[in-house]
Protein backbone atom coordinates (compact mmCIF):
# COMPACT_ATOMS: atom_id res chain seq x y z
CA UNK A 1 0.00 0.00 0.00
CA UNK A 2 1.30 3.47 -0.85
CA UNK A 3 1.96 5.53 2.28
CA UNK A 4 3.18 8.70 0.58
CA UNK A 5 4.92 10.22 -2.42
CA UNK A 6 7.69 12.81 -2.56
CA UNK A 7 9.08 14.79 -5.49
CA UNK A 8 11.81 17.40 -5.83
CA UNK A 9 13.56 19.34 -8.59
CA UNK A 10 17.02 20.94 -8.52
CA UNK A 11 18.57 23.47 -10.88
CA UNK A 12 21.80 21.77 -11.89
CA UNK A 13 23.82 24.97 -12.45
CA UNK A 14 22.85 26.31 -9.03
CA UNK A 15 23.70 23.01 -7.36
CA UNK A 16 27.05 22.77 -9.20
CA UNK A 17 27.89 26.32 -8.11
CA UNK A 18 27.12 25.42 -4.49
CA UNK A 19 29.40 22.37 -4.72
CA UNK A 20 32.20 24.49 -6.17
CA UNK A 21 31.73 27.28 -3.62
CA UNK A 22 31.70 24.84 -0.69
CA UNK A 23 34.14 21.98 -1.43
CA UNK A 24 33.11 19.89 1.59
CA UNK A 25 29.41 20.06 0.72
CA UNK A 26 29.54 16.89 -1.38
CA UNK A 27 31.06 15.00 1.57
CA UNK A 28 28.29 16.29 3.88
CA UNK A 29 25.47 15.40 1.50
CA UNK A 30 26.65 12.17 -0.12
CA UNK A 31 28.26 8.91 0.90
CA UNK A 32 31.37 7.73 -0.92
CA UNK A 33 29.28 5.27 -2.94
CA UNK A 34 27.04 8.12 -4.11
CA UNK A 35 29.93 10.35 -5.18
CA UNK A 36 31.54 7.86 -7.56
CA UNK A 37 30.33 5.97 -10.61
CA UNK A 38 30.41 2.19 -10.97
CA UNK A 39 33.74 2.58 -12.81
CA UNK A 40 35.23 4.68 -10.00
CA UNK A 41 35.06 8.11 -11.62
CA UNK A 42 33.52 11.21 -10.07
CA UNK A 43 29.80 11.61 -10.64
CA UNK A 44 28.62 14.50 -12.79
CA UNK A 45 26.87 17.54 -11.33
CA UNK A 46 23.64 16.35 -13.02
CA UNK A 47 23.84 12.96 -11.35
CA UNK A 48 24.63 14.44 -7.93
CA UNK A 49 21.82 16.98 -8.30
CA UNK A 50 19.37 14.14 -9.06
CA UNK A 51 20.58 12.25 -5.99
CA UNK A 52 20.15 15.36 -3.86
CA UNK A 53 16.63 15.75 -5.26
CA UNK A 54 15.96 12.14 -4.23
CA UNK A 55 17.04 12.82 -0.65
CA UNK A 56 14.77 15.87 -0.56
CA UNK A 57 11.91 13.81 -2.02
CA UNK A 58 12.39 11.20 0.72
CA UNK A 59 12.19 13.92 3.35
CA UNK A 60 8.98 15.23 1.78
CA UNK A 61 7.48 11.73 1.62
CA UNK A 62 8.18 11.38 5.35
CA UNK A 63 6.63 14.76 6.18
CA UNK A 64 9.91 16.70 6.33
CA UNK A 65 10.74 15.82 9.95
CA UNK A 66 13.74 17.39 11.61
CA UNK A 67 16.82 15.45 12.62
CA UNK A 68 17.28 13.39 9.47
CA UNK A 69 20.92 12.87 8.47
CA UNK A 70 21.92 13.11 4.81
CA UNK A 71 24.04 9.94 4.90
CA UNK A 72 21.13 7.93 6.33
CA UNK A 73 19.48 8.06 2.90
CA UNK A 74 21.68 6.66 0.17
CA UNK A 75 21.08 6.44 -3.57
CA UNK A 76 23.29 3.85 -5.24
CA UNK A 77 23.17 2.07 -8.59
CA UNK A 78 22.88 -1.63 -9.27
CA UNK A 79 25.22 -3.28 -11.83
CA UNK A 80 22.87 -2.27 -14.66
CA UNK A 81 22.93 1.38 -13.56
CA UNK A 82 19.43 1.42 -12.05
CA UNK A 83 19.26 3.69 -8.97
CA UNK A 84 18.21 2.19 -5.65
CA UNK A 85 17.30 3.92 -2.42
CA UNK A 86 18.51 2.54 0.88
CA UNK A 87 17.81 4.03 4.29
CA UNK A 88 19.38 3.57 7.68
CA UNK A 89 19.72 5.37 11.00
CA UNK A 90 17.50 8.43 11.40
CA UNK A 91 15.69 8.00 8.09
CA UNK A 92 14.94 4.31 8.70
CA UNK A 93 13.61 5.10 12.18
CA UNK A 94 11.23 7.77 10.89
CA UNK A 95 10.15 5.54 8.00
CA UNK A 96 9.40 2.71 10.44
CA UNK A 97 7.29 5.06 12.59
CA UNK A 98 5.21 5.84 9.50
CA UNK A 99 4.96 2.21 8.41
CA UNK A 100 7.24 2.56 5.39
CA UNK A 101 9.26 -0.54 4.57
CA UNK A 102 9.73 -0.26 0.79
CA UNK A 103 10.82 2.55 -1.51
CA UNK A 104 10.49 3.15 -5.24
CA UNK A 105 12.74 5.73 -6.90
CA UNK A 106 12.95 7.51 -10.23
CA UNK A 107 15.70 10.00 -11.15
CA UNK A 108 15.96 12.25 -14.19
CA UNK A 109 18.02 15.17 -15.45
CA UNK A 110 17.59 17.16 -18.65
CA UNK A 111 17.69 20.78 -19.74
CA UNK A 112 19.54 21.92 -16.65
CA UNK A 113 17.02 20.44 -14.21
CA UNK A 114 17.41 17.31 -12.10
CA UNK A 115 14.38 15.66 -10.57
CA UNK A 116 13.48 12.74 -8.39
CA UNK A 117 10.31 11.05 -7.32
CA UNK A 118 9.96 8.53 -4.52
CA UNK A 119 7.05 6.37 -3.48
CA UNK A 120 6.97 5.15 0.11
CA UNK A 121 5.13 1.87 0.55
CA UNK A 122 4.06 -0.27 3.50
Q: How far apart are CA 103 and CA 118, in angstroms?
A: 7
**What pTM, to 2 d.p., does this model score?**
0.94
Helix, coil or strand: residue 22? coil
In residues, how long is the chain?
122
pLDDT digits (tens, 9 = 90+) for 62-118: 998 888 999 999 998 888 889 999 999 999 999 999 999 999 999 999 999 999 999
Class of domain 2-121: alpha beta
Q: How far apart are CA 79 and CA 62, in angstroms?
A: 28
Cβ distance 10 to 50 under 8 Å? Answer: yes
Locate the domains of the chain by residue range. 2-121
Give just the sign of the alpha carbon dihedral 77, 32, 12, 54.
positive
Amino acid sequence: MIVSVGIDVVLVARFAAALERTPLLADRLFTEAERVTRTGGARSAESLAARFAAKEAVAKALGAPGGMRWHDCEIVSDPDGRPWLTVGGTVAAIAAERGVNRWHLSLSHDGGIASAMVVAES
